[in-house]
Amino acid sequence: MCLSIPSKVVKIDKENNMATVDTMGVQRDASLVLMGEEDVRVGDFVLLHIGFIMNKIDEEDALLSLETYRQIIEAMDEEDKQRAILEADECSNRGE
């Protein structure tokens, strides 16, 4: 199962219909093809799945979710953290 962690849009490349998002300090590119042309702006929080931005999320809800994720991560030991990172990376490649 893949969990979608709220990500903040930090850059938009309109020519390629892509956005750069920041997910808890990790930046990656994501496609905007499933969103309307003016639906996503720099500073918005979004949810993505397998490299596609699926929808926007309210900033307050995004920040509450991110705080919950931080608390979960702090409670994990190092082995569990590494396993979670690997599983998240595999999720984006499986097309689920």
**Mean pLDDT calculated for residue range 69-94:** 74
How many CA atoms within 13 Å lie on the side-chain side of 52?
A: 8
pTM of the model: 0.79
Q: What is the pLDDT of residues 12-65, one digit of tens each?
A: 999 999 999 998 888 999 999 999 877 899 999 999 888 999 999 999 999 999
DSSP 42: T
Q: Are 17 and 32 in contact (CB under 8 A)?
A: yes
Q: What is the CATH number of domain 7-94?
A: 2.30.30.140
d(CA 38, CA 96): 27
> Residue ranges of the domains in the chain?
7-94
Q: Is the pLDDT of residue 73 over 70?
A: yes
pLDDT for 46 equals: 96
